[in-house]
Structure 1
């Protein structure tokens, strides 16, 4: 008779316990952190090859993520870009096409002007925002940084910092703009709260960085100052570094609280920026514009154990971020969202079956809050190497120098051979111009604005 003790019951119990723990972890909703840079060029990161700007924390995030180097935002202006990230819709659909009602038609802070501001904010009510959709599933959500559409509660967040219009000082973030520049404590406290309540969470981290004012800590100014570098450029470089530091603090909190493995991190920039070396401001063909300096951004997705860290070569857009977040959280995706749910591609590694992405540019000052076409300046499409840019005759008001529109004919660029868009090859490729112009028109028709679709 075998008198040796058996460990089978103990081993079986251990296996059952491990299975239950694994199943519980698998069933736990995925947390989401959306990191938004504000006014940063697509080139201005270590992982994107910048020779001088140091971004070690975002470089580490890139090593752990699916990285799309050819990422884009449909509109190169912060407010419409951010509303796209709240709703998943293009500016021409959500209706917030610029930053402010045009002061040409009503003085700022006049009754009419403020009525128009309120009307723009009310457009958000036509859509279910990301925090509202996730809230139905029990998520808590926190807003910090930039936010134009009233208070954080108005946008569907359960927690946040921005009081918003019509509160005093409410425009594009008020108290929320302190995040990053004055520490990260509000987010840390929120993370402690969700951990204590055992709730899934969504974090909107949109700091006023590296956005002007370019006033970095002196220790970072010392790092980038040199006799052969303009002071304006040194300040901007230091701001990019400062933003990276805050991203490291945020991701460190996630790690320290044991939340890393069940948290989807998404990274994107609201719009681009090319620093003017001669003054405090942006150079031509950057912020607000439909050129690469305005619309291109790296886009990253990290979810340990589910999204394989890799370099992706496909074209993607920030229009994809909302359906992808909703899918990761197990929320239903509205059928009318134009973007793609990338989760199946991110988890399987399969290529994205889409060959064309689209965008549109409107004036900073909204000529008519009821008519997006009134301020339409450009529409564009990118297919493979080629980008077609069409120019429209919408009203600009301020920022005339940003949008000279001296070339009204189609502009076609080979973005691989000419990433800075120096050579318009529309005259040499009328077939490509016609094909992409037809695609832009099929995207949605423009009824009032004038446009040239052939190069003559």
Structure 2
């Protein structure tokens, strides 16, 4: 009877919190202190999953999870590449706080094609920041990270009790998906696959901590390059009919291995009767590389601030509490931290830049808000003919972006360029309306400038003396021919 009473009380408290009634601390009840599993895949594109519409990639476990989850169709990373995206997610803050705007260096690409000096860029987040790991520790959770950390040398400084494979390293290195590894991880079995090993370590962590609340962060190195899949799976996809832009059998093999391991972890949660008290979040750190996999109808890919570079897959499941279904409200990964805070310690009062999306998880409305990105840096092209970027030499040049409702405005600092798109009508960002809709452009630009001013966003203005317009013109012609 006591268990039933606590179970009912949990729902009463949750209801009061969501409708703005009495704020009771969820930490007072063990049943309202769920375990949290955050799965963050590296470079997995928005369209690279079966439940997102792919006919080539096979993800039966994630497809099943999607039917049990709230599926966010307009979920965004905090940045378009690894380090800044992860830094913003783990801290819940814009890059102006943690200083990580890109994977260092910030001035990539030929110096003769850059008009400005990029703004200063931090390689790591500061030890003083109150990260998600520290938050969970202070709430009595055991914490573990398994895989790519990438935002400092040691996750232990940021609140993690267990660290397997995580350092400042951003990828596993040449031939690094099969042991012997290049990361600091000794193989258990000769020739083992890194994705399998990280999941096995995560499962051990779950089994060891099943009697107390835990936070499991599983940031797979996969599907980041170097592309390397299990030979039997690669052969399978070599013999499978592909579609335009989704036809890389090695990448497909890596996705299937990731999916199998997600399924294995979820099965263990079921077997240990932990599923009902575990919040599961699945996402990717940024868009996929377009030269590897198209994200159509979204434009471009990793490193770009067009939709293909920042929109990501996102699932949230809490069995018997969150109702499954499609959610179209735009959200960002910076919302994870405030959402978890609102659930576990609503009176903690931590300063965060995201917003709790608990209302969306429980089928309530969320007040409309604008989303912002700032990137005062340069990222060179991967493949000028495939990237889908603004120009063939860079995936992005310095600028800022705002999404406001269905509207999205890009502003570029080198030339003052403005691009306005209606994402509802034009998800491919193909029809620039900046010239034809002056009022909307002016309105969004004003909002963007106000946000930058309030948040101290640096704008690069110093001219690069090495810039050579004749060389740039020649480089562009060479890239497109």
1:258 aligns with 2:273: yes
Equivalent position SS for 1:99: coil
RMSD (Å), alpha carbons: 3.4
Q: Measure, in 2, the Cα distance between the counterparts of 1:247 and 1:17.
A: 30
1:417 aligns with 2:425: yes
Equivalent position SS for 2:398: strand
Q: Measure, in 1, the Cα distance between the counterparts of 2:369 and 2:6.
A: 43
Contact 2:40 2:218 in 1 (8 A): yes
Please, which of 30, 33, 39 is the counterpart of residue 27 of structure 1?
30
Contact 1:99 1:364 in 2 (8 A): no
Partner of 1:141: 143
Alpha-carbon shift at residue 204 of structure 1 (Å): 0.7
Alpha-carbon shift at residue 327 of structure 1 (Å): 2.3
Q: Measure, in 2, the Cα distance between the counterparts of 1:387 and 1:20.
A: 45
- Structure 1, 439-448 or 51-60: larger mean CA deviation: 439-448
Contact 2:131 2:158 in 1 (8 A): yes
The one-character-per-residue Cα deviations of 1:410-438 (angstroms, maximum 9, x if unpaired) are 01112122212122121111111111111
Q: Measure, in 2, the Cα distance between the counterparts of 1:98 and 1:17.
A: 48
Query: Which structure has the bigger radius of gyration?
Result: 1
1:324 aligns with 2:339: yes
Q: Measure, in 2, the Cα distance between the counterparts of 1:418 and 1:39.
A: 24
Please, which of 172, 184, 187 is the counterpart of residue 202 of structure 2?
187
The one-character-per-residue Cα deviations of 1:260-309 (angstroms, maximum 9, x if unpaired) are 0001111221011144269xxxx993111101111001222111122111
Structure 2 unaligned spans of 5+: 11-27, 109-119, 174-181, 187-192, 381-395, 463-481
Q: Measure, in 1, the Cα distance between the counterparts of 2:185 and 2:307.
A: 29
1:154 aligns with 2:162: no
Alpha-carbon shift at residue 126 of structure 1 (Å): 3.1
Please, which of 267, 271, 283 is the counterpart of residue 286 of structure 2?
271
The one-character-per-residue Cα deviations of 1:165-204 (angstroms, maximum 9, x if unpaired) are 59xx99xx93379752535221121112112xx2100011
TM-score of the aligned structures, taking structure 1 as reference length: 0.77
Please, which of 93, 98, 123 is the counterpart of residue 94 of structure 1?
98
1:49 aligns with 2:53: yes
Alpha-carbon shift at residue 382 of structure 1 (Å): 1.1
The count of aligned residue pairs is 394
1:340 aligns with 2:355: yes
Over 3 Å counting, the alpha-carbon distance change for 1:293 and 1:20 in structure 2 is: closer
Partner of 2:235: 222
Q: Measure, in 2, the Cα distance between the counterparts of 1:325 and 1:20.
A: 20
Structure 1 unaligned spans of 5+: 1-14, 105-115, 367-374, 394-406, 452-456
Alpha-carbon shift at residue 320 of structure 1 (Å): 0.6
- Structure 1, 78-87 or 177-186: larger mean CA deviation: 177-186
TM-score of the aligned structures, taking structure 2 as reference length: 0.74
Equivalent position SS for 2:253: helix
1:208 aligns with 2:221: yes
Please, which of 335, 349, 352 is the counterpart of residue 366 of structure 2?
352
